[in-house]
Amino acid sequence: MIRIAVDAMGGDDAPHTEVEGAVAAARELDVRILLVGKPESVRHELARHPHRGLPIEIVPASEVIAMTDSPTQAVRKKRDSSVHVAAKLVRAGDADGFISAGNTGAVMATAYFILGTLPSVDRPALAAPFPTSRGSVSVMLDVGANVDSKPAHLEQFAVMGEIYYRAIFGTRRPRVALLSIGEEEVKGNELTREAFNRLKKMELNFHGNVEGRDVFAGTADVIVCDGFIGNVALKISEGLVEHIVTTLKEGLSSTLRAQVGAVLARQAFQDFKKKMDYSEYGGAPLLGVRGVTVIGHGRSNANAIKNAVRVAAELARCKINEKIEQELDAVTAAARS
């Protein structure tokens, strides 16, 4: 049975949400859960959910990483944090992967420090799902693990993203594209022009450049970019959704007539919110580290935690890191010959 370590102390509402999501995962998915955190707090939360007979155990960790801790502090100073302990379980082979909804920078740094990168990978990449108008999901990477990427890094991101997309979304030949500012090959900046040149020679279903407006249109399945760009794209999207929800709410409560309308249309709004909801998509895997790592949003609800466990379990089950190694070795061999 696949074993997933869950950082019980990570999210804004930890360990409440983490424990609820972990119990749901243990009940609904074929996984054993290692709940990592302060034993008293975790046990207290666990007591609130019926879990007899479920494959859940508690692994103690005495420290908690705060949202305000810097990645360096998290890695160097808090060596018994729940993230540290969860990553060490993976390194020791006692877990097949771990998830955390904690401080993203700290989780990435800890995973990187404890697990290291795969031999063929220069830099790990964080892969975030975006819902699209086609009803499909586009995955963008990197969304913030690295900045100032070189073309060779984008090449590796493309390979890792494609394997991840196949594993989780079941598409046999995902369309891989480069995020740029024009569709033609010559458009973009120095980085994307050279990366385009490399990607078009690879064994990929390469779709060329896509622009920002194509991301939510579902024009491509895997969208490759430098982590600075990807992070701005992700955060501006989150900010815009918030802005729109606020603006709509204000409008819909401004008159009695609008209020009645909003009540009648409630189901439609709930469906809309569900479609916009990141929690359905199960977090963002940090690809390229030596061990399955999935990072959830700080505001993850129990459903998001459960889905992150599902994604981590599927990535472990399909041996994603072995596949990444094989394919990157093939790319290197092809480049040499």
Residue (of 323, 325, 317, 315) closest to 293 by Cα position? 315
Asked if 46 contacts 8 with a C-beta cutoff of 8 angstroms, the reply is no
Of the residues 53, 148, 170, 337, which one makes contact with a copy of itself according to CB under 8 A: 148
Q: How far apart are alpha carbons 6 and 132 in whole angstroms?
A: 29
Closest separation between CB of residue 270 and a copy of itself, Å?
9
Cβ-in-10-Å burial (0-12, 13-18, 19+) of 21 comes to: buried
DSSP state of 37: E
Q: 261-285 b/e with 16+ CB inside 10 Å = b? A: ebeeeeeeeeeeeeeeebbebbbbb
Q: Based on CB atoms, which residue is closest to a copy of itself, 110 or 180?
A: 180
- Cβ proximity to a copy of itself, 6 vs 191, nearer residue: 191
Q: Which two tokens stand for residue 125?
A: 């990449």
Tokens at residue 273, please?
Answer: 């919110």
Say how many residues touch a copy of itself, by CB under 8 A: 62
Q: Measure the CA–CA gap between 137 and 127, rounded to whole angstroms.
A: 12
What string marks each residue from 169 to 208 as x (binds a copy of itself by CB under 8 A) or -?
Answer: ----------xxxx-----xxx------------------
Q: Mask: binding to a copy of itself, 240-279, rule CB under 8 A, as x and -?
A: xxxxx-xxx--xx-xx-xx-xxxxxxxxxx-xx--xx---
* Stretch of 116-124, 197-205, 209-217, 286-294 lying at the interface with a copy of itself (CB under 8 A): 209-217
Distance between CA atoms of residues 39 and 49, nearest Å: 16
Task: Please give the distance of CA 285 from its chain centroid, rounded to a whole number.
Answer: 4
Q: What minimum distance in Å lies between the beta carbon of 302 and a copy of itself?
A: 24
- State the minimum distance, in angstroms, from the CB of residue 21 to a copy of itself: 24
According to the binding rule CB under 8 A, does residue 235 interact with a copy of itself? Answer: yes
Tell me whether residue 276 or residue 335 sits nearer to a copy of itself (CB atom). Answer: 276
Identity of the residue numbered 35: L
Q: Find the helix or strand (DSSP H, E) in which 44 lies.
A: helix 39-46
Tell which one of 7, 69, 214, 314 touches a copy of itself (CB under 8 A). 214
Instruction: List the one residue from 67, 147, 334, 335 that touches a copy of itself (CB under 8 A).
Output: 147
CA distance 204 to 209: 14
Q: How is 288-319 classified by DSSP, letter by letter?
A: TBSSEEEE--TT--HHHHHHHHHHHHHHHHTT
Give the x/- contact pattern for a copy of itself in 83-122, rule: CB under 8 A. Answer: ----------------------x-----------------
User: Minimum distance between the CB of residue 1 and a copy of itself, rounded to whole angstroms?
Assistant: 38
Question: Which is nearer to a copy of itself, 62 or 246 (by Cβ)?
Answer: 246
Give yes or no for residue 211 binding a copy of itself (CB under 8 A): yes
For residue 237, the tally of other CB atoms under 10 A from its CB is 18
Residues in contact with a copy of itself by CB under 8 A are: 105, 131-133, 144, 147-148, 179-182, 188-190, 211-217, 225, 227-229, 231-244, 246-248, 251-252, 254-255, 257-258, 260-269, 271-272, 275-276
